[in-house]
Amino acid sequence: MDGGVGYVDMDALKATELRLGLPGSDPPEKPPPTTTTTARPTKRSLDEDRAARREPSEGGRATSTRATKAQVVGWPPIRSYRKNSFQAMKAAAEAAGLYVKVSMDGAPYLRKIDLEVYKGYKELREALEDMFKCFEGCKGSEYAITYEDKDGDLMLVGDVPWEMFTSSCKKLRIIRGAEAIRGLGSSQ
Amino acid sequence: MVRGFGWAAAFPDEVWEHVFSFLAADADRNAVALVCRAWHRIERRSRRRVFVGNCYAVAPAAAVRRFPEVRAAAIKGKPHFADFNLVPTDWGGGAEAWVEAMAEGWPHLEELRLKRMVVSDDCLELIARSFKNFGVLSLVSCDGFSTAGLAAIAANCRSSPVHTSVGLEVAILVSVASEGVNELSLVYLLLSSADIPYLRNLRELDLHENEVEDNCLNWISHFPESFTSLVSLNIACLEGDVNTSVLECLISRCPNLKTLRLNHAMPLEKLVSLLQRAPQLVDVGTSKFSADHHPELFSKLESTFAGFKHLKSLSGIWEAGPTYLPAIYSVCESLTSLNLCYATIQSPELLKFVSRCKNLQRLWVMDLIEDNGLIAVAASCKLLQELRVFPSDPYGVAPPISLTEHGLVAISAGCLMLHSVLYFCRQMTNAALLTIANNRPNLTCFRLCIIEPHTPDYISQEPLDAGFSAIVESCKDLRRLSLSGLLTDRVFKSIGASANRLEMLSVAFAGDSDAGLHYILSGCKNLRKLEIRDCPFGDKALLDNASKLETMRSLWMSSCSVTLGACRQLALKMPRLNVEVIDERRGRPLESWPDDFPVEKLYIYRTVAGPRSDTPPCVWTV
């Protein structure tokens, strides 16, 4: 079980391996072989591999990773059946968008936003503030963002998890002034 | 016959047959057949189930001749890596040769299961016509057929001897005392230009993940009104719409229906009215599980599912939003199998649902469940035996899902009965693998896929040799293993030495040299299937272990370092191996290529049938 005759022990190999290039530099990363090439995988010593990975040059590495990912046939190993159905579902979901109307008390017209663009409440709040800046005047803080859910009830934005909110929100309404303060009451 | 085995004659054949009937494993029956000629004869005449792991390992006619009384056959075709588009689509695995031989020699065949084979509509029609007592048709990961072929199957189903159909010339009532059956059976024979025995008593039609062309919209309506024997129907893989009202009629008249797995296309309202007709279902695969919120639909769904008193298995739930999932909380307690691997539900809802499933034994889910979800599963699902976690975004780079090695470690700690794992993730450590190995020495199947090739232990930056070594050393009953991440030859040394029960090994982007392959082939006593891609394994290891290859079902190597010369030598040395070189680029014949020509894809399998006659242009049997 020792490797036998003719098989080089890993550790011995490391010590004797000849390398091109300056010491400590990364060997150029070859993309993993595709079906159209029979490139033998680059022989790298363990140290080189470790060095390459420690450098978190995210930008360059990420793009090359993205590019190489696209090239590798059959990796990761998921069934083409699953790939197809999932991609179809994803495409359908992405195409839809989640557009809801936004009304603000006192504003002459409404706006429409795509909830899927935002990752959470903070971003939504910021976007809404941005959108309705021109109507706020000096009393910027006295407002409450509410929404109408699928049952038709007026709810305060922020109580439920984001995903639940995006799936049940039918339209947004920004309530301003005294009404908003009364409504906020104990919360926040 | 040798005198010493005269004892075999001490009992009549039927006694030995009865004894042999207690041997479930083919290996045991094979052993029995080697004892003496009498046992060989008795065993072969009494074997009822045949499993052909590689359709090219034996000629169909030979199999049919050897076991003339087979009632159930299962046959597999393409290599496993065909699932990932590594095998050319025209490689082979056609079912005609088998179906023709079976139609000829096994007219009493009741069950046929085909996996990864190319099944044409003609094949399906032949099946529909040839087997009088056909009960089970299962097609898994097959292609080459359309819904027209399914219509042929459906049209030939009968449950009671009532003739209907158009085109009938003469119907004769015949009473037959068939061989081996004591009671009289009444049989209608349909006489027309083609004599057609029909698919009586079709119980199970299982279409699992096939690529089916949709050219016959109403194939379901070809099931005759008299057909009532359906027990299991799985049409989850069909793309097109299925006529709901026809399906409703079918379901209503099949009181024994236990399994119903529908396809994606059916809208939720229709699904609900369908399911209401079959509260006895044990296994349900839903269609699309999302729709705009309607309180009425919600409560209908709720009451339908509350009506399932025996539901054990749930799947489908495509595109589920959080809206309707709470409607089916009532079945959670009773579920033993849950397949949410197409459900794009986010972690909080998933968590809520799965943690109610206290009796779950099998869970297939997307990585959207995240570590938190798995920690909850580990706490709630104490009976869990099998976990599969699939990637929701395998090609994306961001945003990363919060599913890491921690989820798997939690499961390994909390689920004492866990024995089978398939896990896609983006990071792993040796420490985690060690913990998993120590927690769960009862693992029989461990398939880990770290999505980025060559990924090391993200904390120590070491290769994952130590982790996987721990797995094979601790899990003595490990039968299936898939490796990933950064791995050197060292891990193969451990596998070769420790993985004594290992039957199937999948390797990708791993190893440093031929030593890796040599370790595996010179160890792993029970290895049956080995599939390798993108590893620096080459000629020497292959040739040094040539005889090992005859003890295995098959070996697949692609994007490795094997040359044509080695393949030639191997083929010469081992006449009972088919050495198939697959190359989709070149037009010139194999003979003209030099020995040092690099082989892109190689498929080697043992066979008693010799080189196959249906190789496509891209495949050469050396």
Pairing label, strands B362-366, B480-482: unpaired
pLDDT reading at B480 higher than 90:
yes
**What average pLDDT does the segment A8-14 reach?**
56
- Interface contact B500, partner A, CB < 8 A: no
Q: Give the pLDDT band (50/70/90) at residue B180.
A: very low
* Mean pLDDT along residues B525-536: 97
Local confidence band at A12 (pLDDT 50, 70, 90 cut-offs): low
Strands (E), chain A: 99-104, 111-114, 143-148, 154-156, 171-176
Q: What domains, with CATH codes, occur in chain B?
A: 6-47 (1.20.1280.50), 554-622 (no CATH)
Chain A interface mutation, best of B452, B542, B559, B600, highest count of A Cβ atoms under 10 Å: B559
Which residues of chain A lie closer than 8 angstroms to B515, CB-CB?
3, 7-10
Q: Is the pLDDT of residue B354 over 60?
A: yes
Interface membership of A112 toward B (CB under 8 Å):
no
Radius of gyration of chain B, Cα coordinates, nearest whole angstrom: 26
The pLDDT value recorded for residue A20 is 59
| A12 contacts chain B (CB < 8 A) | no
Distances (CA, A) of B117 to B42, B92, B213, B491, B554: 32, 8, 15, 34, 16
Across chain A, mean pLDDT equals: 65
Q: Is the pLDDT of residue B163 over 90?
A: no
Taking the C-alpha atoms of residue B588 and residue B491, their distance in angstroms, rounded to an integer, is 39
Q: What is the pLDDT of residue A9?
A: 58
B525 touches A: beta carbon within 8 Å = no
Phi, psi of A161 (to 5 degrees): -55, 150
| Residue in A2, A7, A63, A148 to test binding to B, most B beta-carbons within 10 Å | A7
Q: How confident is the model at residue A84 (pLDDT cuts 50, 70, 90)?
A: low
CB atoms within 10 A of CB B293: 16
- Write out the H or E segment, with its range, that includes residue B469: helix B465-474
> Phi-psi bin for B126: left (phi > 0), alpha (psi -120 to 50), beta?
alpha
- Does B192 have pLDDT greater than 60? no
Q: Indicate yes or no: CB of A35 within 8 angstroms of CB of B584.
A: yes
Mean pLDDT of A141-153: 83
What pLDDT does residue A8 have?
55
- Name the residue facing B598 among A32, A38, A80 (closest C-beta): A38
User: What integer is the mean pLDDT of B292-306?
Assistant: 89
pLDDT at residue B55, rounded to an integer: 97
Cβ B456–A53 below 8 Å, yes or no? yes
Q: Do A46 and B488 touch (CB under 8 A)?
A: yes
Whether chain A has a CB inside 8 Å of the CB on B392: the answer is yes
Q: What six digits make up the tokens of B485?
A: 């991440």
Burial class (CB in 10 A: 0-12, 13-18, 19+), A28: exposed
Q: In this structure, what are the phi and psi dihedrals at residue B425, rounded to the nearest 5 degrees?
A: -150, 180
Distance CA B363, CA B99 (A): 35
Instruction: Report residue B113's pLDDT band, with 50, 70 and 90 as the boundaries.
Output: very high
Which pLDDT does position A6 carry in this prediction? 54
Q: Regarding predicted confidence, which is higher, A26 or B320?
A: B320
pLDDT of A34-72, one tens digit each? 433 333 334 444 443 343 343 333 333 344 444 444 558
Which has more pLDDT, B350 or B446? B446
User: First vs last Cα of chain A: how many Å apart?
Assistant: 68
B559 touches chain A (CB under 8 A): yes
Q: Which of A105-119, B18-32, B316-330, B338-352 has the highest mean pLDDT?
A: B18-32
Residue A91 contacts B, CB cutoff 8 Å = no
Mean pLDDT over the full length of chain B: 89
Residues near A37 by beta carbon (within 8 Å), at least 6 away in sequence = none
Please say if the pLDDT value at position B179 is more than 70: no
Q: What digits encode the pLDDT tens for the residues B233-291? A: 999 999 888 888 999 999 999 999 999 999 988 888 899 999 999 999 999 999 887 77
pLDDT computed for residue B162 by the predictor: 41
- Least Cα separation, residue A177 to chain B (angstroms): 32
User: In the prediction, which pLDDT does B198 show?
Assistant: 60
Write down the pLDDT at residue A128: 86
Instruction: Note the pLDDT of residue B589.
Output: 76
pLDDT for the residue A18: 62
Predicted confidence at residue B193, as pLDDT, reads 33
Residues A93-135 have pLDDT tens digits of 555 567 888 988 878 888 888 888 888 898 888 888 888 776 6
Q: How far apart are CA B164 and CA A103, in angstroms?
A: 65
Q: Helices in A102-154 by DSSP H: which ranges? A: 121-131, 133-136
Using CA atoms, how far residue B109 sits from A88, B134, B459, in Å, is: 39, 6, 57
Q: What are phi and psi of A130, to 5 degrees?
A: -60, -45
Number of CB pairs < 8 Å for A and B?
A: 147
Q: b/e per residue, B77-102, with b = 16+ CB within 10 A? A: bbbbbbbbebbbeebbbbbbbbbbbb
For B83, which DSSP code? G
Considering only CA atoms, give the Rg of chain A. 28
Question: Which two three-digit tokens encode residue B207?
Answer: 């279409």
Amino acid in position A19:
R
How far away is chain A from the Cα of B561, in angstroms, using its nearest Cα?
6
For residue B171, pLDDT over 50 is answered with: no
Is the distance from CB of A46 to CB of A14 less than 8 angstroms?
yes
Quote the CA–CA distance of B421 and B347 in Å, as a whole number: 20
Q: What is the C-alpha separation between A48 and B173, in angstroms, rounded?
A: 82
A139 by Cβ neighbours in 10 Å (0-12 / 13-18 / 19+) ranks as exposed
Residues of B in contact with A54 (CB under 8 A): 461
Higher pLDDT residue, B619 or A53? B619
Q: Residue B208, SS3?
A: strand
Q: Say whether A74 and B292 touch across the interface (CB within 8 A).
A: no
A89 in reach of chain B (CB within 8 A): yes
pTM for this model (two decimals): 0.77
Q: Measured between alpha carbons, how far is residue A115 from residues A101, A134, A158, A164, A168 in Å? A: 10, 22, 14, 12, 11
Give the HSE-up count for residue B508: Cα atoms under 13 Å, Cβ half-sphere.
25
ipTM of this complex prediction, to 2 decimal places: 0.81
Give the pLDDT score at A105.
82
Under DSSP, the state recorded for A25 is: P
Residue-level pLDDT at B151: 94
- Residue-wise pLDDT for B199-233, tens only, equals 668 999 999 999 999 988 789 999 999 899 999 99
A138 exposure class (CB count in 10 Å sphere: 0-12, 13-18, 19+)? exposed
